[in-house]
């Protein structure tokens, strides 16, 4: 116990030290520095993805993948919003580190006009890289539609800002794309509803996903975005939803699920190299090693102050992961000691570690540079 506690203090001390470093570094590099590193450098954040970063888009869609009810948001200042977490999600926390506001959801009618210049969140729960992914949950904005929705907003922005200024504005913005999980858990790993696993082996399927992904990234580059963070997929074989299938040995994750993802993450990291190699001048694509970061947390629970990894804080049935967090299910009280909030999603405590590692971590976390370095580049 004592050992655990002192390790927890070490982590807190380390985080505070890193934050001080960040402030010192930004003071040195950024002329008109704000409180956070990159403040004044980053104009806005445009977020694309799935439920890991959805902050309310699915509230407006005919979908059963919704989370705008208690106990979702029980630790969030705005209460339940459609975030699939007890508190802030990865994009919220990364935005904090960058010193930019958490952008509002695209589907909210109030997200228009001058507001578009403070960033927009296009993410949609159950969405994937492939259009058909997640259709078992109802409507959602897949990657392709999210890109179209961004282009729609851009049309409005072009009418409000001179072209040269908009080019500069976009080149100082950061695009965050969190995709891939649903192409596995709500497609490839659901052979009763989807044919992909009959048609492709894991490596062919990863290539199919990455080809689609590359095309959409190129589209976003073509309309002016220049800085991209592309987190890979976490160890899905360890989420309560997969543990609840009973396929894992006691105390272990579902290994074959984690193995199936391998080619996607490896391919995404290679794709980043290719995209950075001259085909897209004046831009930078960065790979976030979510798999490694979450794997590290799962292998070293105590070091991060966690106690429970094999069941959701809010959920029903085996591993509290057979049925996800429903309205008025009582969540666990010690939420900072849980890795998973519900059957699919990490707690805010884990999101905070992921955001910090993407922001200031070494190349093993964020490759070839971290988000802080990305924010300081001038294109
Ligand atoms: C556009 O950029 C120029 C040069 O930086 C600046 O002087 C001007 O105020 C900007 N205009 C708008 C509308 O932002
Ligand atoms: C691309 O860039 C990486 C990293 O800078 C480099 O190692 C590699 O040789 C380059 N070429 C190709 C074709 O990937």
Which pLDDT tens digit goes with each residue over 252-298?
Answer: 999 999 999 999 999 999 999 999 998 899 999 999 999 999 999 99
List strand residue ranges (DSSP E) for the chain, in order. 45-49, 120-121, 174-178, 227-231, 284-288, 366-367
What's the confidence (pLDDT) of residue 342? 97
151 lines ligand 2 (CB under 6 A): no
The ligand minimizing its distance to the Cα of 367 is: 2
Above 60 in pLDDT, residue 80?
yes
Residues in the chain: 379
Quick one: which atom of ligand 2 is closest to the CA of 277? 1
Distance 151 CA to ligand 1 centre (A): 22
Best residue among 160, 163, 165, 378 to mutate for probing ligand 1's pocket (most ligand atoms within 8 Å of CB) is 165
CA distance 65 to 62: 9
| Active site annotation includes 51 | yes
Share of the chain above pLDDT 90, in %: 87
Token output for 77: 């200042």
Identify which has the larger pLDDT, 37 or 144.
144
Tell me which residue of 176, 162, 156 sits closest to 225, measured CA to CA.
176
CA distance 63 to 210: 26
Among 26, 50, 51, 63, the active-site one is: 51
- Classify domain 37-301+349-375 at the CATH topology level: Rossmann fold (3.40.50)
Above 80 in pLDDT, residue 21?
no
The ligand minimizing its distance to the Cα of 368 is: 2
Residue indicated by tokens 């900072």:
336
**Contact residues of ligand 1, CB 6 A cut-off:** 161-162, 165
CB under 8 A, 24+ apart: contacts of 361-367: 361/293, 364/289, 364/292, 365/288, 365/289, 365/292, 365/293, 366/229, 366/286, 366/287, 366/288, 366/289, 367/269, 367/272, 367/286, 367/287, 367/289
Above 70 in pLDDT, residue 198?
yes
Residues 64, 51 contacting (CB under 8 angstroms):
no
Domain boundaries, the chain: 37-301+349-375
Distance 278 CA to ligand 1 centre (A): 29
Tell me which residue of 150, 306, 312, 294 sits closest to 216, measured CA to CA.
150
Quick one: which atom of ligand 1 is closest to the CA of 162? 13
| Active site annotation includes 218 | no
CB atoms closer than 10 angstroms to residue 184: 26
Distance 154 CA to ligand 1 centre (A): 18
Residue nearest to atom 8 of ligand 2 (CA): 273
Distance 165 CA to ligand 1 centre (A): 6
| Active site annotation includes 280 | no
Share of the chain above pLDDT 70, in %: 89
Residue indicated by tokens 């982590």:
11
């Amino acid at each position: 116990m004592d050992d655990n506690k002192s390790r927890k203090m070490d982590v807190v001390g380390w985080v505070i030290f890193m934050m001080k470093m960040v402030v010192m570094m930004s003071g040195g590099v950024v002329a008109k520095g704000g409180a956070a590193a990159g403040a004044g450098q980053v104009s806005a954040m445009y977020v694309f993805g799935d439920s890991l970063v959805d902050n309310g888009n699915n509230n407006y869609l005919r979908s059963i993948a919704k989370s705008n009810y208690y106990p979702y948001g029980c630790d969030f200042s705005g209460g339940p919003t459609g975030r699939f977490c007890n508190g802030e999600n990865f994009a919220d926390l990364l935005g904090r580190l960058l010193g930019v506001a958490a952008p509002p959801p695209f589907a909210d009618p109030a997200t228009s006009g001058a507001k578009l210049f403070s960033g927009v969140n296009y993410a949609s729960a159950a969405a994937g890289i492939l259009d058909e992914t997640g259709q078992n949950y109802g409507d959602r904005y897949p990657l392709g539609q999210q890109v179209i929705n961004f282009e729609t907003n851009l049309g409005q922005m072009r009418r409000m800002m001179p072209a040269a200024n908009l080019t500069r504005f976009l080149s100082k913005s950061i695009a965050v794309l969190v995709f891939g999980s649903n192409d596995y858990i709500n497609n490839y790993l659901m052979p009763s509803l989807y044919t992909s696993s009959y048609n492709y082996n894991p490596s062919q399927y990863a290539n199919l996903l990455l080809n689609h992904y590359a095309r959409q990234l190129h589209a976003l580059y073509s309309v002016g975005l220049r800085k991209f963070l592309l987190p890979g997929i976490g160890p899905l074989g360890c989420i309560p939803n997969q543990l609840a299938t009973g396929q894992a040995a006691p105390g272990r994750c579902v290994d074959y699920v984690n193995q199936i993802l391998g080619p996607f993450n490896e391919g995404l990291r290679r794709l980043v190299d290719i995209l950075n190699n001259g085909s897209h001048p004046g831009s930078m694509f960065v790979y976030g090693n979510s798999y490694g970061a979450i794997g590290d947390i799962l292998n070293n629970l105590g070091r991060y102050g966690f106690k429970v990894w094999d069941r959701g804080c809010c959920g029903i049935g085996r591993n509290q992961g057979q049925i996800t967090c429903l309205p008025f299910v009582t969540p666990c009280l010690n939420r900072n000691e849980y890795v998973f909030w519900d059957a699919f999603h990490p707690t805010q405590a884990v999101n905070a570690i992921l955001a910090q590692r993407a922001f200031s971590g070494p190349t093993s976390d964020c490759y070839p540079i971290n988000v802080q370095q990305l924010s300081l580049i001038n294109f």
